[in-house]
Amino acid sequence: MNREDIEQIKAQIEALKCKTAKEVEEARVQILGKKGQVTRLFEEFRTIDKDMKREFGKTLNELKQTATAKIEELKAALGEENSAGVSGQDLSMPGDPLPLGSRHPVSIVREQIVEIFRKFGYDVAEGPEIEDDYHVFEALNFPANHPARDMQDTFFVSAGHINPLLLRTHTSSVQVRTMERSSLPIRVVCPGRVFRNEAISARAHCIFHQIEGLYIDENVTFADLKQALLLFAREMFGPDTQIRMRPSYFPFTEPSTEVDVSCNICHGQGCNVCKGTGWLEILGAGMVDPNVLEASGIDSKKYSGFAFGMGLERIAMLKWQVNDLRHYFENDLRFLSEFSAAPEV
Ligand code: DAH
């Protein structure tokens, strides 16, 4: 081992230039690798006598530091040359795509319906999902033990009270809250989530959404209801849509009706969506029962009104021919991404 050799190796290292990452790696192996020049000098160092060790120890350590620093410097310089920026990244590369979420079909339908009724002059009203028996049943003319209560399988939150808490089974409860707090006339739609104790299947779910409508003023007649629903159906399903009213029963309306729209798939010819009938059932409606008006302190001799209620999942099913209710709640991206952000009418 002699000083001149070491100085020479050091000078070579300092003068080193590399154009590619491969060249840097080769230089590193040649100098600092297992059989590299510097490594070999350290091996030799182990065999020399004490005096020489004292002489060369420091020099060798400095040589190793110089070599390591040089290799790092060469690597860093290459990184800068290959990239547009100092971070070693090519800033001209296209970015990773960030997929945009889309509106849930139930939200799209809800917004469309609310927007249509907003144009007709309706406000939006909301109410609590955990409700009491009074607002869901009693004030809507379902007396205690009335069989119509069995139409709606209720989840009770607290049982055994006179007015137990429960998960609302329909948004008709918001009618009552609106009548209690608003001055007349009233024109509202009430979108919201509702709950029923149903076994989950393609056709039923324990959670779903409804929109309730309520119009109360002097001299409101069944003809007004019919006209409002016809205009709504044409805005929602297309200008050629027809409606059909079938007599029905709800405790809170008298008379009551179920309303169908002409099938917008086959235009009344009959197809598998309308099961060959040419009609699709979309909502329940009727004239607000005088008992319901009186229960919320509205003079039924002076005022009359109509109400209607529809299921959002059902409307979305008809609109996009979704054949299984469970899709709405599973949040499978393959399903959710089918619906564009901009609602098409
Ligand atoms: N609340 C009814 C239901 O959940 C729907 C309904 C029917 C609402 C008739 C109304 C109505 O306002 O008039 O099945």
Q: Is 250 in the pocket of ligand 1 (CB under 6 A)?
A: yes
Query: Which ligand 1 atom lies nearest to the CA of residue 310?
Result: 5
CA of 292 to the centre of ligand 1 (A): 13
Distance of alpha carbon 47 from alpha carbon 52, whole angstroms: 10
Question: Is the pTM above the cut of 0.75?
Answer: no
pLDDT tens string 209-259 = 999 999 999 999 999 999 999 999 999 999 999 999 999 999 999 999 999
Q: Is 307 in the pocket of ligand 1 (CB under 6 A)?
A: yes
Can you read off the two tokens belonging to residue 84? 């547009």
What mean pLDDT, rounded, does the chain reach? Answer: 90
**130 neighbors 167 (Cβ within 8 angstroms):** yes
**265 neighbors 274 (Cβ within 8 angstroms):** yes
Residue 261 burial by CB count (10 A; 0-12/13-18/19+): exposed, middle or buried? Answer: buried
Question: Which protein residue's CA is at the shortest distance from atom 13 of ligand 1?
Answer: 285
Residue 81 pLDDT: 59
Give the domain ranges of the chain: 3-85, 105-339
Q: Is 172 in the pocket of ligand 1 (CB under 6 A)?
A: yes
**Which CATH superfamily groups domain 105-339?**
Bira Bifunctional Protein; Domain 2 (3.30.930.10)
Distance of alpha carbon 27 from alpha carbon 16, whole angstroms: 8
Highest average pLDDT, of 97-101, 198-202, 203-207, 254-258, comes from 254-258
Q: Is 170 in the pocket of ligand 1 (CB under 6 A)?
A: yes
Mutate to test the pocket of ligand 1, among 250, 289, 304, 313 (most ligand atoms within 8 A of CB): 250
| % the chain with pLDDT above 70 | 94
CA of 107 to the centre of ligand 1 (A): 20
Verify cis geometry, omega within 30 degrees of 0, for the bond prior to 185: yes
Q: Is 308 in the pocket of ligand 1 (CB under 6 A)?
A: yes
CA of 271 to the centre of ligand 1 (A): 27
Which helix or strand (DSSP H or E) is residue 175 part of?
Answer: helix 172-181
pLDDT tens string 130-151 = 999 999 999 999 988 887 676 6
